[in-house]
């Protein structure tokens, strides 16, 4: 099995590159984000490789880091996610952003990827919540708050404040983070309007 390729970038395709390794050209499929980060043809390149072997073909997938490759593997453990969908997700989200979206159950961020519908997005944030490596720089308090909001255990004022910020156009993770900080600052029993005011102040920094 091929785990890494280091050579010269020979040419670009729509969703792949050809890497020349001592005269042998390897076709390597990559996410759009990876393709954009690669050097020009003729320059040196090194990629972590995931090899898929089937009866009728051998397909190589390339990644700029071991972390991106691990996410590629992890995403495919979810029903309905194959190599094409996994690459689409990694084309849309950086590994750290993907980890954060899963940690905060931000399904909306996942379904922005081409070919990812609401059902698959829900499976990803649900099934990978505990499996996903701790690669996201997320405050544990925010993760707990997000989980509480999702399970309707959070205080009503907190849930209402997060909803208000979401209605103003902020994403669920940003709103949850801002209200988590506001709740810590204002203390238990804070009114909705106080939490919203402090949350907006935090988002405006």
The CATH code of the domain at 66-127 is 1.10.150.20
**Does 130 have pLDDT greater than 80?**
no
Q: What is the mean pLDDT of residues 146-151?
A: 55
β-strand 58-63 against 24-29: which pairing, if any? parallel
User: How deeply is 204 buried, as exposed, middle or buried, from its count of CB atoms within 10 A (0-12, 13-18, 19+)?
Assistant: exposed
Give start-end residues of each CATH 1.10.150.20 domain in the chain. Answer: 66-127
Give start-end residues of each CATH 2.40.50.140 domain in the chain. Answer: 4-63
**Does 151 have pLDDT greater than 80?**
no
51-66 pLDDT tens trace: 999 888 899 999 998 8
Pick from 137, 101, 151, 140: which is nearest to 121 by CA? 101
CATH architecture assigned to 4-63: Beta Barrel (2.40)
Q: For residue 154, what pLDDT is reported?
A: 61
Q: For residue 76, what pLDDT is reported?
A: 94
Q: For residue 84, what pLDDT is reported?
A: 94
């Amino acid at each position: 099995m091929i785990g890494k390729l280091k050579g010269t970038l020979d040419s670009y395709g729509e969703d792949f590159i050809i890497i020349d390794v001592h005269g042998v050209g390897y076709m390597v499929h990559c996410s759009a984000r990876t393709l954009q980060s690669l050097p020009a043809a003729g320059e040196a390149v090194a990629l972590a490789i995931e090899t898929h072997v089937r009866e009728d073909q051998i397909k190589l997938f390339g990644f700029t880091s071991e972390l991106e490759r691990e996410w590629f593997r992890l995403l495919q453990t979810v029903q309905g996610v194959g190599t094409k969908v996994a690459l689409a997700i990694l084309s849309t989200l950086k590994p750290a952003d993907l980890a954060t979206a899963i940690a905060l159950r931000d399904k909306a961020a996942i379904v922005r990827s081409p070919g990812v519908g609401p059902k698959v997005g829900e499976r990803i944030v649900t099934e990978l919540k505990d499996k996903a490596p701790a690669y996201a720089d997320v405050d544990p308090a925010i993760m707990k708050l997000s989980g509480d909001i999702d399970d309707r255990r959070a205080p009503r004022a907190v849930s209402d404040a997060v909803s208000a910020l979401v209605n103003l156009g902020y994403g669920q993770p940003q709103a949850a983070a801002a209200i988590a900080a506001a709740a810590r600052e204002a203390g238990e029993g804070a009114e909705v309007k106080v939490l919203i005011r402090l949350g907006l102040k935090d988002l405006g920094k």
